[in-house]
A and B are shown apart, each in its own frame.
Chain A
Amino acid sequence: MDKSSGSIEASPVCDTAGNMTTTVQDPITEASSYVVRFRNNVTSTGAVLVVVAWVPNHANAVPVPQQTMIAPGATGELSGIVPPAANARRMLIVASLDGGEGGRLTLLENGEARAIDDVTETTTWHLLVAVKS
């Protein structure tokens, strides 16, 4: 993966409309371990749903979507290994929030924080799957 640009985190906003944000993050490398963590603020009025899914490359098999529901004041995680780039084009991370919730969404790749964002509305992160060099 080319990290010569030094970019390891994306803008909080790539496209926002109403109560939804879509962000493109830097690529995640195949075969690396990932952890998607969401800390639901104690002041949140309800649970937050976090989903991790993989967009298949040429209809190849990808891991089934993962999902977890996180109560206010709690921290939840989804983790796994990034599938081969030949099988998965993109990683999708969705934090589904409603009015009144807020929290911190963090992505770790091989134990290192790759992306962090404080979110207050439904947020989708897209990450291309990069070939391991």
Chain B
Amino acid sequence: MRRFVLVLLGFGFVMMLGEQRASATETVADSCTEGFTKLVDAMKEECQSLADASKQRLELLKTYDPDKDGHDATKDATLKDLNERIGKLKDARPLLARGLCTATPRNCNTLASTVSISLDQRVGAELASSLAAPRKSQAQGAANEAAASDRQTSNNKSGSSAQIDPVESIQPITLAGGAVALSGTRSGTKGVGVISVNPLALAAPNDAVAGRIFDISVSAPFDLQHGTDEDRRYISVRLRANLTAPISAEALRNKVSEWVKAEGRYADDIEGVLAHAEDVAVCAEVIARTGKPSKTACGEELDDTEVARVRTAAYAEMDAARRAADKYYLGLDARLDAGDPTGPEVAGDKGTHLLGGIASGVRLSQSQRWDWELRGRAAGDYFDSRDDSLGTRPKPVYSVDWGAAFIFSGRLENHAKQRMAFGMGVEGRQSASDKSDARQTPTNFVNLNLMAVVPAVSGGDLGLAVSIPLAEDGVKRGALISMSTDLGLLDHSSN
């Protein structure tokens, strides 16, 4: 019986504590709701004016895009007027007018989320001021650097008779692409079809890291005169990977994550401050205006140095990522060829061919529209002959493969969507194997490659290339003249 009474008493005590806690929570919630309502009531007129002007502005912009459709003097004047009206309201009550008028629910949590934005505004303004001076002096340099990040992606046709670029880039295609090339070779006119796919970009189109890592290309020739028979069965697979992409994009993601987490922690702290403030409305207004709570208005202060630090770091990383994303690249170039790329007319090129190496490139801006690009490649090469026409098959041949090129590319006018490009380079292969074997395989050569690419249709271009052997000790391939159409299928960057 005594135990039962004790349990009852204990239960009653717990209930009482619970009620007290609920009451305290309600008081805090009521206090924040009251503060919220007080602030919104004080801005009723501003809220309505802002809402009207903002609505008019959005409706106008929905149908008016001056950069796309051209400027309309009347609409420009209306837009200017609306911007001024909105600007004046903002000046009167920065942040609160926009943040509080439409925010729900009207509790401490929402109030903290709203007023904590002010810290971001303050740090952003400080950051902008600190960057303004150096940026001004570097304006031209920055503009030129920015131009370099306009990357050109193309299908990977490296090492085939469809190759147009003097040395192929290893920057992956944006999503997917296709190319058809016609090549004049010493064994007749050949056609080559190429499909390039960026699987990670297709799987995760919003992921900047994934979309910049690698692509795979498959190409196969077709003979315009004889079709594809047993002797011409040939397929090539190319993989190129840009290893600098994940480094820059991952760092960016981490910095942004740190930034938003710090902002979240700061807003949590502000929520606590507001909950205990004597006058929530006054405290919130002070935070909104100054970016942080003051002891006089809120009863306590908060340390905002960490948020300011990670915010600045995140912005610096964004800036760096944007500029560097496409300016430099360094990565892998891997190729597999199986079969006979030129048919029986050229003896010695039928076999299994593997190439693996590193490739890199850098863009050097010359003006707002034009830039130079330098490309290079160094690789190891393996060729295992399967050519029965040679009598005795040569042993597998190991070679060093290399290439270097410069490309001048740009747009004829600012409004041009596609680029023109002209390039020149040399590619070569030197065997490290027995000379007699090497003589019967496609190695020991140096080719001079010339390229011209002109915009053709939206999202595509037309390329013309000439490859002239400067030295040719192995299988004689002869000069090549190739014409290729390059289409960026599903490639939004070329729209």
- B127 engages A9 (CB within 8 Å): no
Taking the nearest CB of chain A, how far is it from the CB of B198, in angstroms?
14
Number of chain A interface residues as a range? 35 or more
Contacting residues, chain A, for B55 (C-beta < 8 A): 6-9
Chain B residues near A19: list those with CB within 8 A: 128, 131-132, 135
Enumerate B219-270 residues with CB–CB distance to A below 8 Å: 249, 252-253, 256-257, 259-261, 263-265, 267-268
9-residue interface stretch from B322-330, B401-409, B437-445, B446-454: B322-330
Interface residues of B in 172-215 (CB under 8 A from A): 206-208
Q: Say yes or no for B479: interface residue by CB 8 A criterion.
A: no
Residue of A nearest to B48 (CB): A5
Which B1-50 residues sit within 8 Å CB-CB of chain A? Answer: 47-48, 50
A92 sits at the interface (CB 8 A): yes
Q: A53 and B124: CB pair below 8 A?
A: no
Question: Does A31 touch B at the CB level, under 8 Å?
Answer: no
- Binary CB contact string for chain A from 43 to 73 against chain B (1 if under 8 A, 0 otherwise): 1111111010111111100101111111111
* Chain A residues within 8 Å of B416, by CB: 42
Contacting residues, chain B, for A79 (C-beta < 8 A): 206
Say which one of B139-147, B342-350, B470-478 lies at the interface with A: B139-147
Is there an interface contact between A118 and B67, defined as CB atoms closer than 8 Å? yes
- Is the pair B256, A78 in contact by a Cβ cutoff of 8 Å? no
Interface-located stretch among B58-66, B161-169, B333-341, B423-431: B58-66
Contact A76 B89 (CB under 8 A): no
Q: Is A42 in contact with B104, judged by CB distance below 8 angstroms?
A: no
Cβ contact of B117, chosen from A18, A24, A98, A102, cutoff 8 A: A24
In the complex, what residues of B have CB within 8 A of residue A122's CB? 315, 318
Chain A interface SS verdict (over half): strand
Is B121 on the interface with A (CB-CB < 8 A)? yes
Given known A42-B415, A98-B323, contact A124–B48 (CB-CB < 8 A): no
Contact of B256 among A46, A53, A116 (CB under 8 A): A53
Of B277-285, B461-469, B487-495, the one contacting chain A is B487-495
Cβ–Cβ < 8 Å partners of A78 in chain B: 206
- Interchain CA distance A69-B208 in the complex, whole Å: 7
A48 to nearest B CB, angstroms? 7
| Beta-carbon contact of B492 and A75 below 8 Å | yes
Total A-B pairs in contact (CB under 8 Å)? 270
Question: Considering only CB atoms, which chain B residue lies closest to A71 in the complex?
Answer: B493
A132–chain B nearest beta-carbon distance, Å: 10
Question: Which parts of A80-133 form the interface with B (CB within 8 Å)?
Answer: 80, 89-90, 92, 94, 96, 98-104, 113, 115-118, 122, 124, 126, 128-131, 133
A79–B205 alpha-carbon span in the complex (Å): 10
- Shortest beta-carbon distance, B430 to chain A, in Å? 38
Binds A, one of B93-101, B295-303, B380-388: B93-101
CB of A51 within 8 A of CB of B90, answer no
Alpha-carbon separation in the docked complex, A46 to B145 (Å): 8
Complex interface: chain B residues within 8 A of A5 (CB):
47-48, 51, 101-102
Closest A residue to B138 by CB, please name it.
Answer: A99
Cross-chain contact A74 with B493 (CB below 8 angstroms):
yes
Nearest-neighbour CB distance to chain B for A116, whole angstroms, equals 4
> B417: CB under 8 A from chain A?
yes
Given A5-B48, A18-B128, A18-B129: A11 touches B87 (CB 8 Å cut-off): yes
Q: How far is the CA of A12 from the CA of B86 in the complex (A)?
A: 8
Interface residues on B, range: 35 or more
Among the listed A9, A25, A46, which residue makes an inter-chain contact with B150, where contact means beta carbons less than 8 Å apart?
A46
Q: Which residues of B contact A55 (CB under 8 A)?
A: 113, 260, 263-264, 267
Determine how close the nearest CB of chain B comes to the CB of A102; give it in whole angstroms.
7
Contact of A56 among B99, B131, B264 (CB under 8 A): B264
- CB-CB under 8 A from B54, the residues of chain A are 7-11
Docked-complex contact A126 and B101, CB < 8 angstroms? no
Chain B residue at minimal CB-CB distance from A89:
B113
Question: Are B117 and A126 neighbours in the complex by a CB distance under 8 Å?
Answer: yes
Given A71-B150, A78-B206, A65-B263 contact (CB < 8 Å): no
Enumerate chain B residues within 8 angstroms of A48, measured Cβ to Cβ.
322
The answer to whether the Cβ of B321 comes within 8 Å of any Cβ in the partner chain is yes
**Chain B: CB-nearest residue to A36:** B206
Query: CB distance A98 to B47 under 8 Å?
Result: no
Q: Are A99 and B83 also in contact (CB < 8 A) when A17-B129, A24-B99, A64-B257 are?
A: no
Residues of chain B within 8 A of A80, CB atoms compared? 206
Query: How far apart sit A115 and B86, CA to CA, in the bound complex (Å)?
Result: 14
Q: Are B86 and A98 in contact (CB under 8 A)?
A: no
Residues of B within 8 A of A104 (CB): 65, 67-68
Q: Which residues of A contact B366 (CB under 8 A)?
A: none
| Chain A residue contacts of B207, Cβ below 8 A | 66-67
Q: Is the CB of A45 within 8 A of B253?
A: no
**Do B103 and A128 touch (CB < 8 A)?**
yes
Residues of B that sit less than 8 Å from A by CB:
47-48, 50-55, 57-58, 61-62, 65-68, 83, 86-87, 89-90, 94-95, 98-99, 101-105, 109-110, 112-114, 116-117, 120-121, 124-129, 131-132, 135, 139, 142-151, 206-208, 249, 252-253, 256-257, 259-261, 263-265, 267-268, 315, 318-319, 321-323, 325-326, 368, 414-417, 492-495
Closest 10 CB pairs of A and B: A46-B146, A7-B51, A9-B58, A18-B132, A11-B86, A18-B128, A56-B264, A20-B128, A17-B125, A17-B128
Residues of A within 8 A of B (CB): 1-3, 5-20, 22-27, 39, 41-49, 51, 53-59, 62, 64-80, 89-90, 92, 94, 96, 98-104, 113, 115-118, 122, 124, 126, 128-131, 133
Q: A12-B86, A68-B208, A77-B206 are in contact. List 6 more A-B contacts (CB 8 A).
A: A47-B151, A47-B322, A76-B492, A101-B146, A116-B58, A124-B124
